[in-house]
Amino acid sequence: MSNKDVILANSIAGVPHFAAFDLIAKKRLEALQLDTLLVYLIDTVSESALSFLADQFDVLGYKGLRLATTTDQKREIIKRAIELHRFKGTVWAVKEALKTIGYPDAVLTEHVGTGAGAWATFRIEIDAGSNPVSAAAVDELVRMIDEYKNVRSHLLDISYKISFDPDSITLTDESYEGPAVDDSDDLYVGGDFRYNGAYTYNGDRNYSTDTDILTVTII
């Protein structure tokens, strides 16, 4: 073993039991994964460390981590923790907090109430995207918003916007009188077609007098 491979002083490097201990220590140190010590590289740190980092940066619970549904969202709320706390109590902080948990297009409108206290009211409109829409989910959002809004402001309501592609909708009518119709653009079905010259009577449209109702089920 060369001198560069040992950490012992030359005077004891040749002593067998010291040399053996040195070799064991060398192997143990070489086996350590040093990248795991870089805990503040939030994008690469082990997922098991995220809750501890969230505690350290004060974003546990409704300050963010409770509402984060993916590992990426957990990492994002931790990375944004310092600036969120710095600007806490502002419109920016509320919108950025919502952005970290999957609502990037939240619209916050102030002064929407009535009466003398209207100046302190606001409402929020968010695109649900792939997020769940339920009473429990709304309650969770309100609690998070309360963490980042200023004390004087009062949240009137939260409204959801749900987007879908009309071209992907297929209308199925199981009744005998009104056969199934699939309209690609305008959802005119059944009784909405009239003999007014706007449509060609070629079998492509349902001209019966019944009127179909489109029901959209959100899951």
Which pLDDT value is given to residue 166? Answer: 65
Contacts with 190 (C-beta within 8 Å, 6 or more apart), sequence order: 173, 178, 181, 206, 208, 209, 210, 211, 212
At 188 the pLDDT is: 42
CA distances from 199 to 47, 130, 155, 167 (A): 60, 38, 49, 20
Sign of CA dihedral 115, 119, 125, 131: negative
Which pLDDT score, from 0 to 100, does residue 58 have? 96
pTM above 0.85, yes or no: no
Q: What is the pLDDT of residue 27?
A: 83
Element (H, E) at 147: helix 135-148
User: CB of 60 within 8 A of CB of 143?
Assistant: no
Asked whether 12 and 18 are in contact (CB, 8 A), the reply is yes
Amino acid making up residue 91: V
**Looking at residue 204, what is its pLDDT?**
59
On whether the CB atoms of residues 45 and 38 are closer than 8 A, the answer is yes
Walk along the chain (219 residues) and give the pLDDT tens digit of each residue.
455 566 677 777 778 878 888 888 888 877 877 777 788 999 999 999 999 999 999 999 999 999 999 999 999 999 999 999 999 999 999 999 999 999 999 999 999 978 888 899 999 999 988 887 888 889 999 999 999 999 999 999 999 888 766 666 665 655 555 444 444 444 444 444 555 555 555 665 555 555 555 555 554
Question: Other CB atoms closer than 10 Å to residue 135's CB: what's the count?
Answer: 7
**Residue 206: predicted pLDDT:** 54
Contact 74, 59 (CB under 8 A): no
pLDDT for 183 equals 43
